[in-house]
Structure 1
Amino acid sequence: MAILQAPRSTWYSLGSSSTRRCTRINITATINLPRNQVSPHDLSIPKIIASRVLVEEFEMRTGHTTLPTPGSEKNYDHDSIINLDNSKRRSPNNPPDAMVIAKLYAIMDSVADRVEMHKNIGAQRDNWNLLLLTSINGITLTAATLAGLAATINASGPPLLALKISSTILYLAATGMLAVMNKIQPSQLAEEQRNSARLFKQLHQEIQTTLAVRDPTATDVSDAMEKVLALDRAYPLPLLGAMLEKFPKAVEPTLWWPPKRQRQVGKLGEETDGNGWDGKLEGEMREIARILKRKDVAEYLKLSKKALKVSGILAISGPLLTAVGALGSAFVGTIHGTPAVMFAVIGGALASVVNTMEHGGQVGMVFEMYRSTAGLFRLTQETIESNINERDVEGRENGEVLKLKVALQLGRSLTELENLAAASSRNYKQAVDQDLASKLFWQIIY
């Protein structure tokens, strides 16, 4: 056993340049050494040295950096430790604006409330879809049954008249309810609220992250406000007067973000390296944005148009069939009795099938899903282009972080993203025609 005594003159200091605290440390270590293998004279305890720059950065970014290993402090300098904008660092000598923080917390509270509202209203509208579908199908089939029973009564009189009137009333009620249901598309309304709740959650998390990692500014407050208002416009809560058009003439991606600010475009040949960016990464991101625009956004808009066309056909067919059933049931027992019964019974059966296909299959929800997916790719495309157009690399988002976000957004690894960009740059037309940028939503198409 060997007992080693550290030098009594060992000191360390922690603190900022204005406040320092010195402590004398006596270190005593007891080490069990195998005999005849290691000599106590061969052991030494390195000095505890903390670089002044490292200490200051550690205090400002507590929990985000680690102290250097002993003996490695000579490899560090102020620029290689962390590259932060001085205005964004947390520093006790430069406290954040309390009013800015208060405003951001107020926006967070409002966003959290919107999340709950959209979740509750989404669940309500999903129940509408189920209850209306079941009720209308029940009414339609009951009307068809009454029309068939009326046809079995040979003699005219109160029984026949009662069955005919009841069948006609039920058909007319089903026609009116189905017309309203097809107009508002409850399954599509529920999908809108699910999307909005998810996006408001993302915004809530973004604000939390901003407050956690750096001092917020007035720009952060205005950006958060713009995002909240953009989401309110994209996914309105009320039905009357503010409901989104369920059968638009022109299909466009859903836009839930504020317009991107104009970037400062520099001169050609200007240096664009730094902040995680270089010429290779910029070329890759440009190719990815091009594929997103030409392939992914266009593909999902095409699917949206197909879903909208199917939804429109079914929305017209359902009320039309129930109206035909009502007309047929009104003429049961007359000189046109045989064709009238056929129209009343078969029309009701077909109306139930069409209604089930449209609302049970939630065609409106599928249309909204495709349109919002196209919006997601449009947002990714605009984010890439906005950063590329900014020639001041310090004003961009960090290149490596942006690349990671885009890869995750598209369901690809970083290597797959690079290979896709390389294939596009070699043979642009072939790459775009054969492959989508996103792998995350392929299952929805194929």
Structure 2
Amino acid sequence: MAALQALSFSCSSSCSSSSQRLSRAIQATLQVPKLRLTIPKLPARDLVEELSMRSGYTTTITTLTESRPNDITRDVQGLKSSSKVVVELYTLMDAAADRAEMHTNIGEQRNNWNHLLLTSINAITLTAATMVGLTATTCGMGAPLLALKLSSTLLYSAATGMLVVMNKIQPSQLVEEQRNAARLFKQLHREIQTTLAIGNPTARDVKDAMDKVLALDRAYPLPLLGTMLNKFPETVEPAVWWPQQGRHKGGLDSTGANRESKGSNGWNAKLEEEMRQIVEVSKRKDKEEYVRLGKLALKVNKIMAFSGPLLTGLAAVGSALVGSPSLHQGSWALFLGVTAGALATIVNTMEHGGQVGMVFEMYRSNAGFFQLMEESIEYTLKERELEKRENGELFEMKVALQLGRSLSELRDLAASSSSSSSSERQGETAEEFASKLF
């Protein structure tokens, strides 16, 4: 029993001592002073700039670092403007394709007008002439004679009215206008495609394409009422379907103002002189010839357009006077009713079957083609800064292709034009034209 008490006493004493040590350790831990870690504040610059500053390259690296956000902003703005230009060009390209399709469809419709009206008017005229001839076999003043006279007069009157409208609108000429418009819109569509394929389009490209679309709309209007081109103009001028803004008027400077250039961007004095000679040949031979032919076609068309309705009108008067009491007057009325109707059919077939209006429009468009080429060359040569011009070798190749010639043939033409100028002063004339295509 005493042993148990001693054991419990030792255990209690040891436990009390250990608890006292633990409490002192806890108190010592709690009484440890708080440590405050002070981290030095680093300067507000990146590591690359700090190292570069220690190496002595502070100015260069700082400039690059500061300009980096501006460069990024500028690149983003450039991408936005470039994407906007691309979208605008695609919009114009779609508009050009749509207009080409519209002109093609309307051209087919107006071609049908030409054939249907020509066939109908000729059939009406011949029927009326036949009825007038049948009145000669009708005896007396009975109902058969009156029916034939009335029918032939009505048919001739209807043919006269239809001929007036047909000669006014000239369906064959309208068809040629739509053909030209469709071809030029397709050409513009391909030009925009090429600009996008080459890359780096600018706002200038958008403006040029927009001006060309609007110029084509003005040159070849679709409506017939109000905006239709005058089919019988007082003077014959080349067709104009390109924008005139920025074009220089007047002739070329033949003094060789650009000859002092040492040759840049593919241009030199020899090439400039070659282009001047090409312009002179085109003006003197090709454009002048097509304007002359256009005047001839217009004169023939005017005569036929006036003669057709006049003949059918006279035939209508003659058919109304057939069977009059006077024998002499009746015979002349019969002759007038039949002969004038036959002549009207011939004139109408020659005018609209031969498509004289289309021929006039074709000559006018050909003259416009040469005027466009002349203005393009003049505008290019009047640009003093050679770097702003189109590349000279490429420009020469384009002119050669437009004229259906090789580069060597183009240079030979310019050389022969230069020599023929002196020959013409002596009374000789040069016979060669600039174009070999038409």
The normalised TM-score by structure 1 is: 0.76
Q: Deviations over 1:383-437 (max 9, x none)?
A: 1111111121111111111111111111111111111100111221657642211
Question: Whose strand fraction is larger, Structure 1's or Structure 2's?
Answer: 1
Amino acid in the other structure paired with 1:436 = F
Deviating more after overlay: 238-247 vs 414-423: 414-423
Equivalent in the alignment of 1:192: 177
Amino acid in the other structure paired with 1:297 = K
The answer to whether the aligner puts 1:368 opposite 2:365 as a matched pair is no
Equivalent in the alignment of 1:341: 334
Is residue 193–residue 235 contact of structure 1 (8 Å, CA) maintained in 2?
Answer: yes
Find the partner of 2:297 among 307, 313, 316: 307
Equivalent in the alignment of 1:122: 107
Question: Whose helix fraction is larger, Structure 1's or Structure 2's?
Answer: 2
- Unaligned 5+ residue runs, structure 1? 1-90, 442-446
TM superposition outliers: structure 1 runs of 4+ over 6 Å? 91-94
The answer to whether the aligner puts 1:287 opposite 2:280 as a matched pair is no
Distance 1:408 1:173, change over 3 A: same
Q: Summarize the alignment of residues 258-277 of structure 1 with structure 2, pairs less than 5 Å apart.
A: 258-259=243-244, 261=246, 270-271=260-261, 273-277=263-267
- Larger Rg, first or second structure (1 or 2): 2
Find the partner of 1:257 among 222, 242, 260: 242
Distance 1:178 1:430, change over 3 A: farther
Give the whole-Å Cα distance in 2 for the aligned partners of 1:167 and 1:203. Answer: 52
Give the whole-Å Cα distance in 2 for the aligned partners of 1:410 and 1:275. Answer: 23
Distance 1:429 1:314, change over 3 A: farther
Equivalent in the alignment of 1:84: none
Amino acid in the other structure paired with 2:343 = L
Q: Summarize the alignment of residues 11-410 of structure 1 with structure 2, pairs less than 5 Å apart.
A: 95=79, 97-259=82-244, 261=246, 270-271=260-261, 273-334=263-324, 335=326, 336-410=329-403
Q: Secondary structure at the match of 2:308?
A: helix
Q: CA deviation at 1:94?
A: 6.3
Is residue 124–residue 156 contact of structure 2 (8 Å, CA) maintained in 1?
Answer: yes
Give the whole-Å Cα distance in 1 for the aligned partners of 2:77 and 2:348. Answer: 67
Distance 1:339 1:93, change over 3 A: closer
Q: Deviations over 1:305-360 (max 9, x none)?
A: 00000000000010011011001000111121110110000111100000000000
Give the whole-Å Cα distance in 1 for the aligned partners of 2:284 and 2:290. Answer: 11
Q: Secondary structure at the match of 1:142?
A: helix
Give the whole-Å Cα distance in 2 for the aligned partners of 1:300 and 1:178. Answer: 28
The answer to whether the aligner puts 1:440 opposite 2:437 as a matched pair is yes
Structure with bigger RCO (C-alpha 8 Å, 6+ apart) = 2
Is residue 131–residue 149 contact of structure 2 (8 Å, CA) maintained in 1?
Answer: yes
Amino acid in the other structure paired with 1:439 = K
Is residue 270–residue 391 contact of structure 1 (8 Å, CA) maintained in 2?
Answer: no
Distance 1:234 1:147, change over 3 A: same
Amino acid in the other structure paired with 2:159 = A
Give the whole-Å Cα distance in 2 for the aligned partners of 1:310 and 1:429. Answer: 37
Distance 1:93 1:415, change over 3 A: farther
Distance 1:115 1:272, change over 3 A: farther
Equivalent in the alignment of 1:58: none
- Unaligned 5+ residue runs, structure 2? 1-74
Amino acid in the other structure paired with 1:390 = E
User: Identity of counterpart residues, as a percentage?
Assistant: 63
Amino acid in the other structure paired with 1:434 = E
Is residue 275–residue 393 contact of structure 1 (8 Å, CA) maintained in 2?
Answer: yes
